[in-house]
Structure 1
């Protein structure tokens, strides 16, 4: 996850994010929607809802009831997360090196050889978004986001003594709160499956042709789309959709902020665009999130169950806050969602529940 300075497509994404803060959403939205359609891809979903290219086989029995796949969540277990957080909060840092995306971030090494991506937000909302996105993933039972812990930079504290010079050279603000997310080694890049980028395609329970993608992998893609939708994270698949107007083959290359472990688990990294910043610029990006959502009618059973529970309770923000406070000692200092953004979180959770019900009605017997 150590990446070079932002150039090319990554630089374009950063520029687009900056423009989203400076230009009215309608200006950028008009540009995105007016581009001519040339290649057969997800770009066609921007103009009309996706429909399946063919219906379920006549008389066939769907292999997954109502599109619910019972595969266990891939990724990082609760025990793994707890152990890593304890280590990240108590181990001494021995070096801070350039890496992990933005120039202000660092690849941190602990005394036992463990490494972490240290994220210093140009705006505190970026660290908050990264942190709350992690805890929301745990609340949803989606385990593909690496373990994360907050830390306040203090070169007089034992944990930070060994990197005092590195901190001084970083030109950070005085004693900022930073996020430490687990560094995962031996990751490979990931390309969006053809079944998720074919014109007019919706994946539904009885669809047999998944282009060689296993059920286990497909429900991870489903979890990713649901996760990015509810957090409004534009810096992954949504940015690829926007970039289609300049780069017709963008969906055929590796997906930004997404990797795969040797065991086949997808890893959702760099989630700082989620929730806070993502909600702020949502008018520009929501059409892309909606387009992606309409490509899936296959869900992991536990994800669908949790979304139904959060819809019924109508208190997803409160549950997220409770989980955050219990597990993060710096939660009160870091802050939380505004009332407006808390309501947006509930609204987007409700939209996911509605979509799952629509899929159930459309494809179940």
Structure 2
């Protein structure tokens, strides 16, 4: 508004100056006309004297305006623009100053601990001012002491990102004690989880959604069953429960079953089957590379393109052939990883190349052509094991339980002892009944032949009724030890399958459980047991380390399900895992690959990629973190 008035005032001054100039021009013209008339004689000559006063000089602005009105308007607009630019700068500077002040007040001040200082000063002043009126109130109306002991802080700081991270849980937190996973048909990244609440024994169901960073968002829980608490747990006080638990731990330690609360004891370790040692691997590699001569191929060994290879001396092997070398890499490098971890449950394997121009393959040229195998393709030859039988999933890893720790081991031993006591009681009852019948028979005067027939009848009845029970305490202890041996091998199986992200064994059963509830009672996929030694053999690991890593987003929940609920490990395996992490898993696998394969194999079969090595290192850390967590939880309990 001020600028407009100033512009109008300038225009008025310009008009006044123009009028003044016009008047001066008219006066000069009149004087010149009169002077001409006097000279020509037409008018009488009169001499006059006039004083000419100089006109005051015009203002510079007026001159500029009188010279060019457009230029004056342009100068005025420039002045307005400069003023507006100055106003914008002042506004931006004020906003910046307010932002800096707010950051200092909201972040730097809490970091320096000034809120505590304000709280302490306010509490001292509030205590002297407000406690006096409160003391005058009756006891029923007096406020709680906690509200006066610690007054509220003047302000608090919270970050939205931290609250969001608290809502996202890890796979361990979500799937611990879970026994059922089911994909949500309406949401591909969501699944339905059913888990056992160990506090009250109830079964709960909830939805989880996987986020982009590998964590999970958990929905509200829904209780499917009522709370189950045994009468014994209700009657026992907490100190009594702790004393009972400590006695259980001492018994397991003394018996050599559990060591340091998280490892299998010496008794179990010494009873484990020997498995396949390093000497078996060296001899098999030498046989395949130097001595073995393939004479024919037979159908068998699993998938369509796999074949049973028969050598000239009658030795048999399973040949794994794939169009994609990723699965060949997964099979051989998974075997190398098992060797580095001293896991002896993997059958000896060696990589070679199909070359019918050599003596090793030339005899089987017709069978190779019929099998549609291509020349110069890598294959993995695994030694044939004839005495294998299907192996099921133990009870601790089936639904409604699916966890293994030292307390589960104690429960298993107690169940076996109860069976032994039942057998002993049943034998004592039968003996007392037989003696009573013999006494009655002798008193009634029956013959010796009749009494002998009674003995034979009672022995036959005893054998028929006691057949499901162990025959002796020694056999009962042997059955218990065999069960613990199986669980110890499953500890290695869970760790090994988690490291390589194997999809074709227990994860296969877990994933299909949502459609087939009986699949967990069926034999485990790609798992067999030697009939004579009870050794579990881990078969078909081709999905490990490469193909399984690509599908982690879909199957990681199933991989973590068993590992998160495992708290008993084999000490040699964990120690080897720590050494592998310290020395570098990628370097160790590469050196083993270079040492055990020929140049022809390395030309067609690449080493393990860096991405897989990185994921393997992360999963090694995850297993060791689980071991550490189990140790800490046992110490706190």
TM-score interval, normalised by the smaller of the two chains: 0.7 to 0.9
Note if 1:189 corresponds to 2:390: yes
Show the counterpart of 2:276: 76
Give distance in 1, aligned partners of 2:350 and 2:278. Answer: 14
- Equivalent of 1:264 in 534, 556, 561: 534
The Cα shift of 1:216 comes to 2.0
Show the counterpart of 2:548: 278
Give distance in 1, aligned partners of 2:527 and 2:206. Answer: 22
Give distance in 2, aligned partners of 1:133 and 1:29. Answer: 33
Give distance in 1, aligned partners of 2:207 and 2:626. Answer: 17
Deviations 1:223-261 (A, max 9, x none): 000000000001100111110111011110011100001
Show the counterpart of 1:344: 615
Show the counterpart of 1:22: none
Cα separation, partners in 2 of 1:331 and 1:28, compared to 1, 3 Å: farther
Which entry has the higher C-alpha Rg, 1 or 2?
A: 2
Show the counterpart of 1:13: none
Q: TM-score, normalised by structure 1?
A: 0.83
Q: SS at the partner of 1:209?
A: helix
The Cα shift of 1:98 comes to 1.2
Give distance in 1, aligned partners of 2:603 and 2:204. Answer: 42
Deviates more, 1:320-329 or 1:153-162: 320-329
Note if 1:59 corresponds to 2:329: no
Cα separation, partners in 2 of 1:130 and 1:34, compared to 1, 3 Å: same
In 1, are the aligned partners of 2:284 and 2:348 still within 8 Å (CA)? yes
The Cα shift of 1:92 comes to 0.6
Instruction: Give the structure with the higher percent helix.
Output: 2
Show the counterpart of 2:356: 155
In 1, are the aligned partners of 2:296 and 2:364 still within 8 Å (CA)? yes
- Equivalent of 1:249 in 512, 518, 539: 518
- Equivalent of 2:310 in 89, 106, 109: 109
Give distance in 2, aligned partners of 1:182 and 1:161. Answer: 21
The Cα shift of 1:199 comes to 1.8
- Equivalent of 1:335 in 575, 581, 606: 606
Could you say which structure has the greater relative contact order, defined with CA pairs below 8 angstroms and 6 or more residues apart? 1
The Cα shift of 1:332 comes to 5.4
The Cα shift of 1:36 comes to 8.1
Give distance in 1, aligned partners of 2:635 and 2:563. Answer: 18
Q: SS at the partner of 1:264?
A: coil
The Cα shift of 1:157 comes to 0.6
Give distance in 1, aligned partners of 2:334 and 2:204. Answer: 27
Q: SS at the partner of 1:179?
A: strand
Cα separation, partners in 2 of 1:337 and 1:92, compared to 1, 3 Å: same
In 1, are the aligned partners of 2:194 and 2:205 still within 8 Å (CA)? no
- Equivalent of 1:95 in 288, 291, 296: 296
In 2, are the aligned partners of 1:134 and 1:145 still within 8 Å (CA)? yes
Give distance in 1, aligned partners of 2:579 and 2:556. Answer: 24
Deviations 1:130-176 (A, max 9, x none): 00000000001111111011111011110101101001112123321
In 1, are the aligned partners of 2:184 and 2:190 still within 8 Å (CA)? no
Aligned length: 334
Give distance in 2, aligned partners of 1:343 and 1:27. Answer: 33
Note if 1:292 corresponds to 2:450: no
Deviations 1:251-307 (A, max 9, x none): 100111000012011000111011111111111111001001023111111001112
Note if 1:326 corresponds to 2:527: no
Note if 1:33 corresponds to 2:233: no
The Cα shift of 1:356 comes to 0.7
In 2, are the aligned partners of 1:32 and 1:242 still within 8 Å (CA)? no
In 2, are the aligned partners of 1:222 and 1:299 still within 8 Å (CA)? yes
Give distance in 2, aligned partners of 1:242 and 1:29. Answer: 17
